[in-house]
A and B are shown apart, each in its own frame.
Chain A
Amino acid sequence: MAEPVLQVKNLRTMLDLPGGPVPVVDDVSFDVGVGETLGIVGESGSGKSMTALSIMQVLPKPIGRIDSGHILLEGIDLVGISEQKIRQIRGREIGMILQDPHTSLNPVFNVGNQVTEALQIDNPGTPHKTLLARAVDTLKKVNVADAERRIHAYPHQLSGGMKQRVVGAIAIAGAPKIIIADEPTTALDVTIQLQYLQLLREIQDETGTAIIFITHDLGIVANLCHRLVVMYAGKIVESGTVADVFGAPSHPYTEALLKSVPSVDRKLDRLYAIDGQPPALVTNRAGCSFAPRCPYVLDICRIQEPLESRGPSGGASHCASCWNIERTT
């Protein structure tokens, strides 16, 4: 593979909570190649959004901070660069789509205003008329019907799917090299979801942009992504190509996640759920964080953190952090 667009290396992000600093992203590393779609999956609270916000450096103020690690965009480290430089990266080099279209758009500005603002950052001093025309073009690219009229609409006058298209238009406005989509379809109806995913794929085909797709939905990952990383309690527990990971899930958590996807041919009379709760945020825990819920737990799992090892699929990039990949109980 050519040089990746984005490389995240040993990223650690802390939140300074009242009880003390807590790592919400812990030693996370992954690459995203040109034109590639990487899925990040994991249950609620596993640190998916915090990973995305760390890359954008828009962590919740003032409690969030990147503690250590590197975020390389085409080889240039974004960690520790000035606020002014990172602002030039945001929107232009990296675009982002947030989860809830109903709250992502500013209620007091119309669509045209919010899209032109994103265009203007790339081209300061461009006459407003030109920008508006470009906004219309951008909206058309995300299949907003009647874009000439829609630029005058306010967010409350649009449907959820339409708003998310506008957010998508804002994300692609600066022609970014990579788009981070943080559960962009979770708040949409199923039919609208499919349209939106199709749209993302079209955008990728057309522009060659890389996509990081964050989701709970393994079905989407199977359809949309090339590779995926599985996060649990702030850490990546397994990573690899979709075929490898789905074919031979190596971490017990991935296995459980895959089992909990309802499917037609697997005749379950009740849905599979992973026992227990994801761990509460703590500063230091010994051993594997999944151990308390793991059906294959060994003694060593509770004492020492597992090292990353090659997955049984034999895939070159398939890795999992588990002491018991061979599943000897």
Chain B
Amino acid sequence: MLRFVLTRLSQMLVSLLVITFIVFSLSHLTGSPIDSLLPDDATPQQIASLTEHLGLDRPYYVQYLTFLQNAAVGDFGDSTKWKGSTAAEVVLERLPATLQLGGLAVLISVVAAIPMGVMSAVRRGSIFDRMAGVVALLGQSLPAFWLGIVLMWIFAVILGWFPTSGYGGLTYMILPAVGMAWFQIAALTRLTRSAMLEVLDTEYVKLARIKGVNERQVIWKHAFRNAAIVPITYFGVLAGSLLTGSVVMETVFAWPGTGLLAIDAIRGRDFPVVQSVVLFFAVFYLLANFLVDVLYAIIDPRIRYG
């Protein structure tokens, strides 16, 4: 188990290096930050001195190594848009909002989708199963921004149950979180259902019944424990798409998280902030997938001892 964890960790480190290089390169492909930092009528001398000050005149690999060195200690330079703060400070300030919203969305997805997928499989062909199928279809065909707006319109504007937008407690979070979870519920339900159907058909589930194990344990202990590998694998993807989902929902509901920050930073060509946001997303994604691998090993002894 320890060896397994160490192997995964070192693989993660390699991925991280590749990602930092891409992040570094990408931001330099979209044009020079000098243009947005200086007024249009800046003199060549002003441009040259700022270029030198930011190190943009040095060789590419030196710039990258410097970037890496600074990134290692969380230093991505000063934000160019939010004057007086470092990029890391800007991101850290927005982080809790995103984690709150993302966490709630994950919770809603799992709590809704797992039982729904399992019950659909157990009662295959029943009315419940067919209704869950419709929910899944709707979930996967509605675009997120449209859904966000419709949710806001129905539950905030017409019914007035929730505030329309802004930052605050649970009532502010529910609509955007449901909006983010929606698509995931659909995907996760379908995955869980098909994984369960497959497992329920196996000989070891048959043997569990033959032993006299009660139906609840047959389903949740014998079958789900095996079927769970599929939704757990998806959890890594889920974590990633909840971050991208957060960009849309944070925009629609004016939720001041990193998604909204990313949009603002890109619009304002705030390189340091864009870099730290993207890198944060990447690290988050890697961590989620690492967690998935560990869970995977905990569940399946063939991986643990493989």
Using a CB–CB cutoff of 8 Å, the interface residues on chain A facing chain B are 56, 58, 60-62, 83, 87-92, 95-96, 98-100, 103-110, 117-118, 121, 154, 156-157, 167, 170, 173-174
**A62-B125, A154-B305, A156-B302 are known contacts. Are A106 and B204 too (CB-CB below 8 A)?**
yes
Distance between Cα atoms of A90 and B206 in the complex (Å): 12
User: By the criterion CB–CB under 8 Å, are A96 and B210 in contact?
Assistant: yes
Distance between Cα atoms of A90 and B24 in the complex (Å): 64
User: By the criterion CB–CB under 8 Å, are A108 and B225 in contact?
Assistant: yes
**A107-B226, A107-B302, A154-B305 are known contacts. Are A88 and B212 too (CB-CB below 8 A)?**
yes
* B222 lies within 8 A of chain A by Cβ: yes
Q: How large is the interface on B (under 10, 10 to 19, 20 to 34, 35 or more residues)?
A: 20 to 34
User: By the criterion CB–CB under 8 Å, are B212 and A105 in contact?
Assistant: no
**A108-B226, A108-B299, A156-B301 are known contacts. Are A103 and B211 too (CB-CB below 8 A)?**
no
* B209 lies within 8 A of chain A by Cβ: yes
CB distance from B193 to the nearest CB of A (A): 15
* B207 lies within 8 A of chain A by Cβ: yes
What A residues does B300 contact at CB under 8 A? 107-108
User: By the criterion CB–CB under 8 Å, are B301 and A98 in contact?
Assistant: no
Q: Give the contacts of B199-251 with A (CB-CB under 8 A).
A: 200-204, 206-215, 222, 225-226
Distance between Cα atoms of A92 and B211 in the complex (Å): 8
- Give 8 closest A-B pairs by Cβ, nearest first: A91-B212, A90-B212, A154-B301, A103-B203, A106-B204, A91-B211, A121-B212, A58-B209
User: By the criterion CB–CB under 8 Å, are B212 and A106 in contact?
Assistant: no
Distance between Cα atoms of A104 and B206 in the complex (Å): 8
CB distance from B300 to the nearest CB of A (A): 6
User: By the criterion CB–CB under 8 Å, are B302 and A104 in contact?
Assistant: no
CB distance from B181 to the nearest CB of A (A): 28
* B28 lies within 8 A of chain A by Cβ: no
What B residues does A88 contact at CB under 8 A? 212
Which one, A56, A104, A108, contacts B301 given CB within 8 A?
Answer: A108
User: By the criterion CB–CB under 8 Å, are B299 and A92 in contact?
Assistant: no
CB distance from A212 to the nearest CB of B (A): 13
CB distance from A163 to the nearest CB of B (A): 11
CB distance from A32 to the nearest CB of B (A): 17
Using a CB–CB cutoff of 8 Å, the interface residues on chain B facing chain A are 124-125, 200-204, 206-215, 222, 225-226, 299-302, 305
Distance between Cα atoms of A96 and B204 in the complex (Å): 12
20 contacts between A and B (CB under 8 A): A58-B206, A61-B200, A90-B209, A90-B210, A91-B211, A92-B212, A103-B202, A103-B204, A105-B204, A106-B225, A107-B226, A107-B301, A107-B302, A109-B225, A118-B212, A121-B212, A121-B213, A154-B305, A156-B301, A170-B211
CB distance from A310 to the nearest CB of B (A): 36
CB distance from A154 to the nearest CB of B (A): 4
Which residue on chain A has the smallest CB distance to residue B300? A108
User: By the criterion CB–CB under 8 Å, are A56 and B213 in contact?
Assistant: no
Distance between Cα atoms of A117 and B207 in the complex (Å): 12
Distance between Cα atoms of A12 and B144 in the complex (Å): 53
CB distance from B220 to the nearest CB of A (A): 13
CB distance from A122 to the nearest CB of B (A): 8
CB distance from A7 to the nearest CB of B (A): 20
User: By the criterion CB–CB under 8 Å, are A100 and B209 in contact?
Assistant: no
Which residue on chain B has the smallest CB distance to residue A113? B221
User: By the criterion CB–CB under 8 Å, are B222 and A106 in contact?
Assistant: yes
What B residues does A87 contact at CB under 8 A? 212, 214
CB distance from A119 to the nearest CB of B (A): 10
What A residues does B213 contact at CB under 8 A? 117, 121
Which residue on chain A has the smallest CB distance to residue B225? A108
- Taking A61-B200, A91-B211, A118-B211 as given, write out 15 further A-B residue pairs in contact, using a Cβ cutoff of 8 Å, ordered by the A residue number: A56-B210, A58-B209, A83-B215, A88-B212, A90-B210, A98-B203, A98-B206, A99-B203, A103-B202, A105-B207, A107-B204, A108-B225, A108-B299, A154-B301, A154-B305
What B residues does A107 contact at CB under 8 A? 204, 226, 300-302
CB distance from B282 to the nearest CB of A (A): 32
What B residues does A110 contact at CB under 8 A? 301
What B residues does A167 contact at CB under 8 A? 207
What A residues does B125 contact at CB under 8 A? 62
Distance between Cα atoms of A157 and B302 in the complex (Å): 9
What A residues does B200 contact at CB under 8 A? 61
CB distance from A21 to the nearest CB of B (A): 15
User: By the criterion CB–CB under 8 Å, are A157 and B299 in contact?
Assistant: no
Which residue on chain B has the smallest CB distance to residue A157? B305
Distance between Cα atoms of A95 and B213 in the complex (Å): 13
What A residues does B212 contact at CB under 8 A? 87-92, 118, 121, 174
CB distance from A296 to the nearest CB of B (A): 39
Distance between Cα atoms of A89 and B211 in the complex (Å): 9
What A residues does B299 contact at CB under 8 A? 108
Most buried by A among B203, B211, B300: B211
Distance between Cα atoms of A145 and B246 in the complex (Å): 57
CB distance from A208 to the nearest CB of B (A): 21
Distance between Cα atoms of A299 and B212 in the complex (Å): 49
